[in-house]
Amino acid sequence: MAEPQGRTVKDLMSSPVVTASPSDTVAQAAESMKAAGVGSVVVVDGDRPVGILTERDLVKFSASGGEAEGAKVSEWMTADPDTVKPSEEVAAAFKSLSEHNYRHIPVVDGDGALQGIVSLRDMMRVARIVPVDPVTEVPPGLEGVVVAETKIGDVRGKEGFFHYRQYSAVELAEKRMLEDVWHLLFQGELPTKSEREKFIEEITPLRVIPDDVMKVLPSLANLGDCFSPLDAARSAFSLVVSSQDFKPSLDADHEELRKQAMLSCAVFPSLVMALYRLSEGKEPVDPDPNLPYAANYLYMLTGEEPDPENARAVEQYLIATIDHGFNASTFTARVITSTGADLGSAVLGALGALSGPLHGGAPSRALDMLRDIGSIEKTDDWLRDAVGSGRRLMGFGHRVYKTDDPRGTLLRGVAERLDKDGERVRLAKHVEKRAVEILQELKPGRSLYPNVEFYAGIVMDMVGMPPPLFTPTFGCSRVIGWTAQIMEQAADNRLIRPSAHYIGPEPPQPVPDPE
Ligand code: ACO
């Protein structure tokens, strides 16, 4: 904010001042304000200010239904107003104005006699200071800004580590099934054997798409070239939210929100797969109550029980992508919940944020890049051309990780396990290595490394997942994280409502008459 050096209040103040006496009526004071075209009168006893009556006070007065002719200024004024000295620097006066939320401050000399009045409008007009409430300027993209407290987990970018409720997410992906991690996020702890069984029993019936929604799915899937599984799943999920009458989070207690969250996480994968199959001209495959989450997910794609190795690969991917700090989609879910909106709306907004290529929309693009490069020999030319011409390498770079993304490392291992002849992974690893080196050379100091999306596309392709399902699959796991975050937000909520720094031409500009 630009503040003029050396300017004093005297340079800015208006003088003489429109005054009133405490015994004047409100009607008289209002008349004086109107006649002089000012927004306040200073109430004086002799030449000493004893109060201030502003337009705001008049509004309050008229709302009270009082008689302006009978009411005294002394009853409606703000008594003993803050004052400033004419010699005070503009910056200090401005600070006082904005800290106390006053619009006008009487200016008094050393003896306390009224000399003038200074207002925000004076400051704006003369000093070109933008009148704002106390603000904290934050970096573009809110980089590094902490906006909430959470017990769900966090991401330690420099260490290349992230966890869910204290447990390394990578270790969870190595050792546990998805339902365990879902339980951890929702219930706060990993389940015992019997808790797991009970949790799975709760999930299984919720996977079934409600009949009234199922009926509508063919129309969402039959959009020809315009069909997008993510858009369609979002629309279908919106119907689930309506059909189940999700209440605003402001009116729902934790138990109710948890029920909605359980349903959302269980049914979303079924919607994705049913819509995809319908778009391919096939009948949806009902979820198999005997299969765990990940195996059932692949089963709903093909109608066949999947190879356990493929199901495990998908499960590990899903576990590793459930939650990841205050990423853009999670933040979106939190913001929507902070308004008291229902859990479904928060998930829908988060899905929108996830769809962007800078967030969850990258894995199919990363796979396209690998296909385009095609061979080890072509790698360097392709990468140099891409980075040199200002394109972003999909699957590289991260807001928080300035080293290897641990999810990428995990998925590289999964890809190695799946790639029997090793050909594809050899190319991927070569591209990964050269991309890091070329980015270091052409984008020095940016610390760009592969992120989760680089190997995600490869792993999903290897298990037979069609590329249009990559981002919706990411959505399936992330809905667990989002809903855990939504419940946490709702439990201790305050509206998330930041500010923006206006940088356009200075107002007020008279509104021209229409031509
Ligand atoms: N390829 C080439 N250059 C890059 C890349 C990339 N993948 N990522 C960042 N840069 C460069 C930018 O061009 C910029 O350079 P400049 O200083 O010369 O302008 C610099 O690095 C910083 O980039 P920002 O966009 O400011 O970094 P930010 O932290 O905002 O972006 C992001 C992070 C969006 C992930 C970025 O790295 C990117 O676009 N990556 C490609 C898309 C991608 O892989 N997205 C998936 C992310 S993982 C997830 O969401 C699950």
Q: Which uninterrupted H or E stretch holds 229?
A: helix 229-243
CA-proximal residue: ligand 1, atom 28 (nearest): 399
The answer, yes or no, to whether any atom of ligand 1 lies below 6 A from the CB of 396, is yes
Same domain assignment for residues 21 and 101: yes
- Type of residue found at 255: E
- Taking the centre of ligand 1 as the mean of its atom positions, its distance from the CA of residue 319, in whole angstroms, is 24
Average pLDDT estimate for 371-385: 97
- Taking the centre of ligand 1 as the mean of its atom positions, its distance from the CA of residue 363, in whole angstroms, is 14
What is the separation, in whole angstroms, between the first and last Cα of the chain? 36
Same domain assignment for residues 352 and 377: no
Query: With b meaning 16 or more CB within 10 Å and e meaning fewer, what string describes 193-228?
Result: eeebeebbeebbeebebeeebbeebeebbeeeeebb
Does residue 113 lie in a domain region?
Answer: yes
- Taking the centre of ligand 1 as the mean of its atom positions, its distance from the CA of residue 150, in whole angstroms, is 26
Percent share of the chain, pLDDT over 70: 94
Does residue 299 lie in a domain region?
Answer: yes
| pLDDT value, residue 3 | 43
Does residue 159 lie in a domain region?
Answer: no
Q: Give the pairing of strands 161-164 and 153-156.
A: antiparallel
105 DSSP β-pair partners: 118
**Which range among 1-15, 44-58, 241-255 has the greatest average pLDDT?**
241-255
Same domain assignment for residues 305 and 341: yes
Q: Give the pairing of strands 48-54 and 40-45.
A: antiparallel
Same domain assignment for residues 380 and 434: yes
Q: Is 398 a catalytic residue?
A: yes
Q: Give the pairing of strands 40-45 and 19-20.
A: parallel
Closest by CA position to 221, among listed 229, 209, 213: 229
- Taking the centre of ligand 1 as the mean of its atom positions, its distance from the CA of residue 451, in whole angstroms, is 10
Percent share of the chain, pLDDT over 90: 74
SS3 324: strand
Does residue 293 lie in a domain region?
Answer: yes
Burial of 494 (0-12, 13-18, 19+ CB in 10 A): exposed
The answer, yes or no, to whether any atom of ligand 1 lies below 6 A from the CB of 395, is yes
Same domain assignment for residues 291 and 326: yes
The answer to whether residue 368 scores a pLDDT higher than 90 is: yes
Task: Note the pLDDT tens digit of each residue in 285-339.
Answer: 999 999 999 999 999 999 999 999 999 999 999 999 999 999 999 999 999 999 9
Task: Note the pLDDT tens digit of each residue in 86-111.
Answer: 988 887 777 666 666 677 888 999 88
Catalytic residue, from 398, 430, 441, 501: name it: 398
The answer, yes or no, to whether any atom of ligand 1 lies below 6 A from the CB of 329, is no
Same domain assignment for residues 220 and 342: yes
Same domain assignment for residues 109 and 219: no
Given 126, 148, 179, the domain boundary residue is: 126
CA-proximal residue: ligand 1, atom 45 (nearest): 358
Query: With b meaning 16 or more CB within 10 Å and e meaning fewer, what string describes 310-343?
Result: bbbbbbbbbbbbbbbbbbbbbbbbbbbbbeebbb
Q: Quote the CA–CA distance of 119 and 56 in Å, as a whole number.
A: 14
The answer, yes or no, to whether any atom of ligand 1 lies below 6 A from the CB of 408, is no
The answer, yes or no, to whether any atom of ligand 1 lies below 6 A from the CB of 369, is no
- Taking the centre of ligand 1 as the mean of its atom positions, its distance from the CA of residue 398, in whole angstroms, is 6
Q: Which two three-digit tokens encode residue 447?
A: 């610390």
Task: Note the pLDDT tens digit of each residue in 149-194.
Answer: 999 999 999 899 999 999 999 999 999 999 999 999 999 999 999 9
CATH of the domain at 96: 3.10.580.10
Same domain assignment for residues 335 and 377: no
Backbone phi and psi for residue 45, each to the nearest 5 degrees, phi listed first: -120, 105
- Taking the centre of ligand 1 as the mean of its atom positions, its distance from the CA of residue 368, in whole angstroms, is 18
Torsion region of 271: left, alpha or beta (phi above 0 gives left; psi -120 to 50 gives alpha): alpha
Residue 1: which pLDDT band, with cuts at 50, 70 and 90? very low
Does residue 503 lie in a domain region?
Answer: no
Looking at per-residue confidence, does 127 or 381 come out higher?
Answer: 381
The answer, yes or no, to whether any atom of ligand 1 lies below 6 A from the CB of 367, is no
Given 100, 126, 152, the domain boundary residue is: 126
- Sequence length of the chain is 515
Does residue 469 lie in a domain region?
Answer: no
Q: At what angle do helices 178-187 and 254-279 cross, to 10 degrees?
A: 150
Q: Is 100 a catalytic residue?
A: no
Catalytic residue, from 453, 488, 501, 515: name it: 453
Looking at per-residue confidence, does 2 or 47 come out higher?
Answer: 47
pTM for this entry: 0.77
Given 61, 94, 126, the domain boundary residue is: 126
Question: Domain containing 13: what range?
Answer: 9-126
Ligand 1 closest atom vs CA 454: 44
The answer to whether residue 125 scores a pLDDT higher than 70 is: no
Q: Quote the CA–CA distance of 177 and 315 in Å, as a whole number.
A: 7
The answer to whether residue 36 scores a pLDDT higher than 90 is: no
Q: Quote the CA–CA distance of 76 and 53 in Å, as a whole number.
A: 7
Number of domains in the chain: 3
DSSP letter at 137 equals: -
CA-proximal residue: ligand 1, atom 2 (nearest): 392
Does residue 512 lie in a domain region?
Answer: no
Pocket perturbation via mutation, ligand 1, pick of 155, 392, 449, 453 by most ligand atoms within 8 A of CB: 392
Same domain assignment for residues 203 and 288: yes
51 DSSP β-pair partners: 43, 79
CATH of the domain at 416: 1.10.230.10
Ligand 1 closest atom vs CA 321: 51
Backbone phi and psi for residue 388, each to the nearest 5 degrees, phi listed first: -60, -35
Same domain assignment for residues 236 and 122: no
Same domain assignment for residues 425 and 454: yes
Q: Quote the CA–CA distance of 464 and 100 in Å, as a whole number.
A: 63
- Per DSSP, helices labelled H in 37-168 are 55-64, 73-76, 90-100, 120-122
Does residue 202 lie in a domain region?
Answer: yes
Same domain assignment for residues 331 and 395: no
